[in-house]
Structure 1
Amino acid sequence: MGTRVAVAGASGYAGGELVRLIAGHPELDLVAATAHSQAGTPLAAAHPQLTGLDMVLAETGPAVLSDADLVFLALPHGQSAALAAQLPPGVKVVDLGADHRLTAAAAWSRYYGGQHAGAWTYGLPELPGQREKIVVAERVANTGCYAVATILALAPLIAAGLVEPEDVVVVAASGTSGAGRAAKAHLLGSEVMGDLSPYKVGAHQHVPEIKQATGARSLSFTPILAPMPRGILATVTARPAGAVSLGAVREALIATYDPSPFVTVLPEGVMPHTAATLGSNAAHLQAALDADSGRVIVVSAIDNLGRGAAAQAVQCANIMLGLPETTGLSAYGVAP
C-alpha cells in the first residue's frame, strides 16, 4: 500500500488532473476527493475522463482530509489557508492556490486582498537550493501557472548577471482552463473561439510571485486568453547587462536545467509549442536576441494544468515523500 493522499477541490480542472495523475502513480493511493457544490456526486460525473474510478466526491472539510498522509489543496485563492490550519501536524500539504506563495504581506494585500496567511516553502524544485527545502517541508506552496513559465525562463539569466532585473517585459497566452471551471460568459466557446483577448493588464496577481522568485525589480506582464483548453506560451524579454551573446544566454539556461528531468532547452532555432507539452510536466525553453533592440528573449511553453498546476504538485509531493521526483510523471507530451 502506498502513501494515502487526498485532493480537496477535485471537481475543478486542476483537481481532476491531480486525480488522473494519482490514479496512475505507483506510490500514491487516493483515499478522498472532495468538492463543494458537487459533493455527493460520482467523481466520473464531474470528470468523464476518470470513468472507472469508483469514488464519490465528499464535502470539503478537515475531517475527511485528516486521514490522509498528504493532502493536495486545489481550491480557489483565499480558501486554502483556513482549511490547512485545521489539518493536524504530520499531515503533509501541497497547496495549488496562492495563499502561501508570497513572503510579503503588502504584496498579498495589493494583489489578492484580505489577510496574509504567511509563506510556505516555495514549490519550484528547479530553483537553486529549493529541492533541499522541499525535502524537509511539511507544507509546500505550488507555483502559479504563468509564474512557473516565466520564472524558469528568467531566473537563471538574472542569477548569472546576463540581464538587468529592471524593465522585464512578459507577454503570455494561456488556455481557458487557467480561468477555472466556473461558468462565465466570457469563457463560453462562442466567445473564445477565433479570438485573443488580454485581461488583468498591468495588475496580474502573479507579478509579485515572479519578482520574488527571480529577483526582478520591475516587471510588465500582459496575460492573453487564447482559444485553446490548456497550455501557456510566455515570451520573456529583458535588457542585457552589457555585451551578451546568444551563446552565453543558452549556456546559462542549459547549465541550470541540464540535470532537470522536466525542463528542456530546445536545440538552437527550435521554438517551443504548447502542444508539445500537453499532458506532461515538461517545460520547453528557447532563447534569442532581438536584432533591433538587443533585448534578450526567452520563450517558454508549458501545460498550465500539468507543469503549471497538478503535475508540478505531484513532483513536489514526490520530493516531500522521499520518492524519485519523476515517479508517476512524464516529460513527454501527448500529440496530436
Structure 2
Amino acid sequence: MVVGERLRGLRGFSRLPREEAQKAGGRPSRGGRQPRGLGTRGEKEKQLSGRISDYDFELPRELVASRPLPERSASRMLVVDRTAGKLEHCMFRDLPRFIAPEDLLVLNDSRVIPARLLADEGRIELLLFSRLGPARWRAFARPGKRTRPGDSFRVAGTIARIESVEESDGTRIVQFEAEPDLEALGHMPIPPYLGREDDEEDRTRYQTVFARRNGSVAAPTAGLHFTREILAALPHAFVTLHVGPGTFLPVRAEQLDEHRMHEEEYEVSTETAQRINEARRVIAVGTTSLRVLESLPPGAVSACGGRTDLFIRPGFAFRHAGALMTNFHLPKSTLFVLVCAFAGAGLMREAYAEAIREKYRFFSYGDCMLIV
C-alpha cells in the first residue's frame, strides 16, 4: 500500500492528491531498510499462497510517477536475471545490448481511445469500453443515482440515455442519439492513481508511438518507453489486445482462484505468427502482450483472434514467452501477481524492494524492468 493510504483502481473513480514525478537517475545499489511487505533477500525462494493479501506491499507516495519524463527513452530499467538471481541497474536505452538478432520483441499495437466523457460540469462521468452497435456502448458510470435506467443527459455533443445496468458488475448499457465524437470531446482515461485530470500532454504521451488500432481504455504501458528509432533498430512484431476496464478494478476476492478477469479482444496476424515461430527467444513487451502469447495453444503459433480472460498466477506453465519487459505495478493487483508468476515470487519481491530503495518511478508513467 502507499504509506498511510491504499492506492485504489477505478472503484468510485477515486483519485489521490497530485504528486510530482521524480526525476530519473540511478546510483549504485545500496543496502537499507527493507520496504514493508516485500520480505528480505533470504526469502528469495519463498512461494506466496493463493491469497491476494500476500501480494501487498507499501510504496512511498512520491515514487508514483504522475507525469512522463521529457524523453520517452530516458527511463531507468531494472534487469532481473532469473537464472542467476541477480539484479542490474540500467537505462532503457541499454535495451539493445540484451537483444540478440534472433530474438523477437512482441508489442501490443492497440491505441487508447479518449473514452472518458464528462457531463453536467463533471458531475456525471462515463467510461466507454465496449461498442455494442451504432451509438451504443457498454460503460462504467458515476454517480449511480444519476445514471439509472431511463436517465438521460447531454454529453459530448449528443444525448446519452441509460438503457440498463448489469447486476454483476454495475456497468451500464448506454444509447446515444448520435455517435459521440470521442476524438474531439472525450478525455484520455489516465489511471486514477495519477491524482490529476488528463491534459494535452496525455494525448500523445499516454499512447505508444506504434499504436494503430483503436480499442483500449488503458495504455500498454511497457511500450511507452520506445521511440521510433529504438524500435526500428530491434527485431519486433505486433499483436493486438484491447485493454479493457478490468485493468482499473481492484481484486475483491481474497482467494486468487475466485477472481475472474474481464474478457479482452486480441488478434495475432499471419506475419507475427510466423516470426514468433522463427524466433529463438520471444520477449513480451508488457503484460498485455504476454497474455496474448500465453492465451495461444502450445506448439507452433498460427494467425488467430478471439477473447481472453487469462489470469496468470504462480504455478502457471509459460509456453511461448522467454522474457518480459514491464513497468512496476500496483500492490495487490493481477499484474503484480503475473510478474511474480513469471520471475518467481521471492525474486520479484526482492526486485521491487530494490526498486523502492533506489527510488525508481512506479506505475504507468514510471520506469521499467526487463525479466530475462
The structure with the larger Rg is 2
The normalised TM-score by structure 2 is 0.31
The normalised TM-score by structure 1 is 0.33
